[in-house]
Chain A
C-alpha cells in the first residue's frame, strides 16, 4: 500500500514507540504519587513538557497536555470566550478553519457570542488587513489556523499576531498541521494560545497540547485532581505524553533537510500531475504552502470516486478532511475558495510523509491520469464540454 494521507495521520515512529513502551508496564506509576516509582513518571512528564516548550519557544509551565487537537481548540475557544465575556462578545476566525474550530464557534454563537468568519482569497489566504478591519471594540479573541489541513495554505500568522497584540486582543492559532513541519516560535509570532496534535508528527493518537501564554485567565477544562496545574484534571497519560514529546523533538531534528526533501517530492508530484492531466487546478497557494501538501481539483471528475479507485489500487489518499464519519462532503474549504461545486467535489488531497519515495509518486503519476480519463469518458459534462470546444 502507498500512503499519501499524512495530513490525516502518521504512523508512530519506532523511536517514539520505544520511548513510550516502558511507561505502560515497568514504569507504570501515577505521576502524582510520592514514592520513587512515581517520581520517574513525574520526571518524564517534566522532561516532556520542557521539550515541547523548547520547540515552541515557550516556557514549560505554559504547556498543557490534552487528548488532541480538537480538545485543545475547544478549550482555547470556549475557555477564553467564557473568561473574557465581560470585556466583549466578538470573535474573529476564517471560513476555512478545521471543524474543531468552526463548530466550536457555531456553539459559541448559540451562547450569544458574535463571530466574524473571514473570507479567503482563491488560494485560501487572508490578509492581515482583513483581520484589522474586522476588529471591533467588543473583539476578545482571534482564532486563525497556522496552516490549512486540506489545501496546505500557510496563513500570515506573525502579522496577525502583531495586530492582535497591538489591539490587546487574544490570538489563538490551530497549528495542528503546522507543528512538526514548520519552525514555530510563539514569541516571534506573538501567539497567545496554540493547539497541536501528536499523531500528525509521528506521535501517538489521543495526545495533544495547548500552549497558553502565562497569565491568561483560561478557566479549567476538567475539574479534578489538580493535574496540569489544576486546569485539566485526570491522571496524566504518561506514555502518550512521552510519545508526543519524543516525536516532536525528532520532527525538528534536521528539519531543513527533511523539508527540502519532502518539498522536492511535492513539487515533483504537482508538476507531474499538471503535465499529465489537463483541466486540473492546484488548490492552495503555490508557495505559502505546507511542504507535504498536494491538493488538486479535476474538472468533470468526482473526487470520491477517484479516491475509491485509488484505494482499490492500493493508494491511500483523501478528498478533504478525514473527520466527517468517512463520508465525502463537498469541502467547506474549497467552497470558500470560490470553487464551483463541481470542482469542490472533484478534489484530491495527497499529503506526503518522510517515508514516501519518488517511485511511489511515479506510480501515482502513472495511474492517476488513467483513472481521471476513465471518469471523464463517463461524464456527460465532459462530453458536452468536448462538443462545445471541438
Chain B
C-alpha cells in the first residue's frame, strides 16, 4: 500500500522539524518544503522569522537527517501580494494589520496547500502549537488550543476554513513545548532555538513607518493631532507612523501622558487622549470565520482576544448584520485596534474570529 503523503512546511526550527519527525514515525510519506518569500537581492535579517534566509539551509539539513526529500519553493509573489502589499495598505488606511495571519491564510494555507495537493499529498503539516480534531456529531473540523497554553498559536489561525483544516496536520500541538525540545534532542535535531519573534519578519529593524515610506509611492502627509474635543494639539508625521494605544514618539507635551485613541484616514487626523479613554467594552469585527459552525445564531458567551498577547476576556458575541459581529466585553478592554484580529474562544476551542473595524 502506498503511504499517505504529507508536505511539511519546514523552517529549520525545532517545531516544524519535530512535526516532520512525528509524522514520519506515524507512517506518512513526508516531504519537506521551505517557502522562499524574500526578494532575491534584498536579504533581510538572516535569522528573522520563520522563513529567514538560514531557514532554507537549516530545513535542508533537517530533511537530510530525517532522510526525506526537501524542496525550496518560491512564494515571493504570493507573499508580496497578500502580506506586504496588504500590510502597507492597512497602515495607509489607518489600521494596524497582522501580517502573520495574512501569511497563514493566503501563503501557507492557500499557496502551499495547493502545491501540496498538486504533488499528490493529502495534507500539509506545520509546527504550529494548535490541535485539529473532528466533531463527528456535526461533521466539522475543530481547532483547539495547544496543550501548552503559553505557546498557543491559534490566534493567528482563526480564519482557516473547513477545507483547509481537513487537509492540515499539526502534530506538535499535542505536546508540551519541553517535550518537543526533548524529542528534538533525542533524535539529534539541531535545537538552536530560533527567536520566537512576534515581530514583523520582513521588517527586521521594526521601523514600520520607514519601511512603508520606502515601499510606497503615495505621499506620506503630515496632519493634525486633535484632542477628543477637536482642538489641535500638534502635528503628526503621517498616519502610517501610528497605531492605536501608542504613547511613545508622539512629540506632544501634556500634563498627563497622551495616547493614540483613534486614527481618521479620511481627514488625516489622529485623536489623542488619556489612558482611560482607551478603555472600551464594545468592539465590531467583520471578515468573519467561524469554525464549529458556519453561522453565528443569537447571542453566545465566549472569551475573546483583541491582540496576540492579550489575555482572553469574557464577553458576549452577536451578529449585528450579515457580515458584522458585535462583541461586548464584561470588563472594558484597553486599546481596541482596528485591523487586528478579534478571536473567540470557548475554553480550549477556537470559535472563530474576524478583523476589528472599530
Decide if A378 touches B74 in the complex (CB within 8 Å). Answer: no
Q: Is the CB of A328 within 8 A of B74?
A: yes
Q: Name the distance in Å between A305's Cβ and chain B's nearest Cβ.
A: 4
A272 to B115, alpha carbons, bound, how many Å?
Answer: 27
Given contacts A327-B72, A327-B74, A328-B73, A312 and B31 within 8 Å (CB-CB):
yes
Count of chain A residues near B, Cβ 8 A: 15
Q: How far is the CB of B71 from chain A (nearest CB, A)?
A: 6
A19 at interface by CB-CB < 8 Å? no
Q: Is A109 an interface residue (CB 8 A)?
A: no
Docked complex: B12-43 residues within 8 A CB-CB of A: 31, 36, 40
B230 beta carbon closer than 8 Å to chain A = no
Report whether A325 and B72 are in contact in the complex, using a CB–CB cutoff of 8 Å: yes
Task: Name B119's contact: one of A309, A325, A327 (CB within 8 Å).
Answer: A309
The residue on A at minimum CB distance from B117 is: A378
* Docked pose: A122 CA to B339 CA in angstroms: 46
Verify B118–A378 contact, CB threshold 8 A: yes
Q: Which of A311, A327, A374, A378 contacts B73 (CB under 8 A)?
A: A327
A325 to B118, CA, bound (A): 23
C-alpha gap A329/B74 in the complex (Å): 7
Are B31 and A327 touching (Cβ within 8 A)? no
A236 to chain B, nearest CB (A): 33
Shortest B255–chain A CB gap in Å is 55
From the candidates B36, B72, B120, name the one contacting A309 in the complex (CB within 8 A): B120
Residue B241 CB within 8 A of the other chain: no
Q: Mark B72-88, 1 if CB is under 8 A from A, else 0.
A: 11100000000000000
Residues facing A in B71-120 (CB within 8 A) are: 71-74, 114-115, 117-120
Contact partners of B115 in chain A: CB under 8 A: 302, 304-305, 308
A312-B119 in contact (CB<8A): yes
Interface check A340, CB cutoff 8 A: no
Interface residues of B in 49-66 (CB under 8 A from A): 56
Task: Tell me, in angstroms, the Cα distance from A302 to B116 when the chains sit together.
Answer: 12
A375 touches B (CB below 8 Å): yes
A308 to B117, CA, bound (A): 12
Q: Is A326 an interface residue (CB 8 A)?
A: yes
User: Roughly how many angstroms separate A312 CA and B7 CA in the complex, as a whole number?
Assistant: 12
Bitwise, A323-365 to B at CB < 8 A (1) or not (0) is 0011111000000000000000000000000000000000000
A327 to B73, CA, bound (A): 6
- What separation, in Å, do the CA atoms of A326 and B32 have in the docked complex? 14
A:220-268 near B, CB below 8 Å: none
Contact assessment for B118 and A375 in the assembled complex, using a CB-CB cutoff below 8 Å: yes
> Which chain B residues lie closer than 8 Å to A375 at the CB level?
118
* B114 engages A308 (CB within 8 Å): no
Contact between B118 and A309 (Cβ–Cβ < 8 Å)? Answer: yes
> Is the CB–CB distance between B69 and A305 below 8 Å?
no
CB neighbours of B40 from chain A (8 A): 329
The CA-CA distance from A380 to B53 in the complex, in Å, is 32
B354, chain A: closest CB distance, angstroms: 26
Q: Which of A308, A312, A378 has the most CB of B within 10 A?
A: A308
Interface of B is mostly: mixed
Give chain B residues whose Cβ lies under 8 Å from the Cβ of A308.
Answer: 31, 71, 115, 119
- Residues of B near A325 (CB, < 8 A) are 56, 72
Residue of A nearest to B29 (CB): A312
Kindly list chain B residues whose C-beta atoms are within 8 Å of the C-beta of A312.
31, 69, 119-120
Q: How far is the CA of A325 from the CA of B69 in the complex (A)?
A: 16
Measured CB to CB, the nearest residue on chain A to B115 is A305
Whole-angstrom distance between the Cβ of A281 and the nearest chain B Cβ:
20
Residues on the A chain within 8 Å of B69, using CB: 311-312
Which residue of chain B is the closest to A308 with respect to CB atoms? B119
Given the complex of chains A and B, what is the CA–CA distance between A325 and B119 in angstroms?
21
Determine how close the nearest CB of chain B comes to the CB of A313; give it in whole angstroms: 9
Indicate if the CB atoms of A326 and B72 lie closer than 8 Å. yes
A368 to chain B, nearest CB (A): 14
Note all chain A residues with C-beta closer than 8 A to B36.
327
B71: A residues at CB distance < 8 A:
308, 326
> Closest chain A residue to B120 by CB distance?
A309
Contacts of B72 in A (CB 8 A): 325-328
- How far, in Å, is B69 (CB) from chain A's closest CB? 7
A138 CB, min distance to chain B CBs, angstroms:
28
In the complex, how many angstroms separate the beta carbon of B118 from the nearest chain A beta carbon?
Answer: 4
Q: How far is the CA of A328 from the CA of B40 in the complex (A)?
A: 12
The reply to whether B114 and A378 contact each other, CB–CB distance below 8 Å, is yes
Of A304, A311, A378, the most chain B CB neighbours within 10 A belong to: A304
Docked complex: B282-300 residues within 8 A CB-CB of A: none
Residue of B31, B36, B71 with highest tally of chain A CB at under 10 A? B71
Contact between chains at B74 and A305 (CB < 8 Å): no
Contacts of B117 in A (CB 8 A): 378
Q: Is the CB of B31 within 8 A of A302?
A: no
**Interface set, chain B 118-152, CB cutoff 8 A to A:** 118-120
Which B residues lie within 8 Å of A378 (CB)?
114, 117-118
A377 (CB) vs chain B CBs: closest residue = B118
Cβ < 8 Å to B, chain A residues 92-127: none
In the complex the two chains form, what is the Cα distance from A325 to B71 in whole Å? 11
- B5, closest chain A residue (CB): A312
Question: In the bound complex, how far is the Cα of B74 from the Cα of A304, in angstroms?
Answer: 9
Q: Are A305 and B31 in contact (CB under 8 A)?
A: no
Residues of B within 8 A of A304 (CB): 73-74, 115
Residues of A within 8 A of B120 (CB): 309, 312, 374
User: In the complex, A355→B31 CA distance in Å?
Assistant: 29
Q: Mark A302-319, 1 if CB is under 8 A from B, else 0.
A: 101100110110000000
* Distance of A325 Cα from B43 Cα, bound (Å): 14
Q: What is the CA–CA distance of A312 and B72 in the complex, to the nearest angstrom?
A: 14
> Which residues of A from 358 to 388 have beta carbons under 8 Å from B?
374-375, 378
Report chain A residues within 8 Å CB of B114. 378
Q: Which of B73, B74, B119, B120 has the most CB of A within 10 A?
A: B119
B window 190-249: CB within 8 A of A: none
CA distance A302 to B71 in the complex (A): 15
Q: List 5 A-B contacts (CB under 8 A).
A: A304-B73, A308-B71, A311-B69, A312-B120, A378-B117
Question: What 12 new A-B contacts, CB under 8 Å, besides A304-B73, A304-B115, A305-B119?
Answer: A304-B74, A308-B71, A309-B120, A311-B69, A312-B31, A325-B56, A326-B71, A326-B72, A327-B73, A327-B74, A329-B40, A378-B118
B interface with A by C-beta (< 8 Å): 31, 36, 40, 56, 69, 71-74, 114-115, 117-120
For the complex of A and B, list the 10 residue pairs with the smallest distance between their C-beta atoms, beginning with the closest. Answer: A305-B118, A308-B119, A326-B72, A327-B74, A327-B72, A309-B119, A327-B36, A328-B74, A375-B118, A305-B119
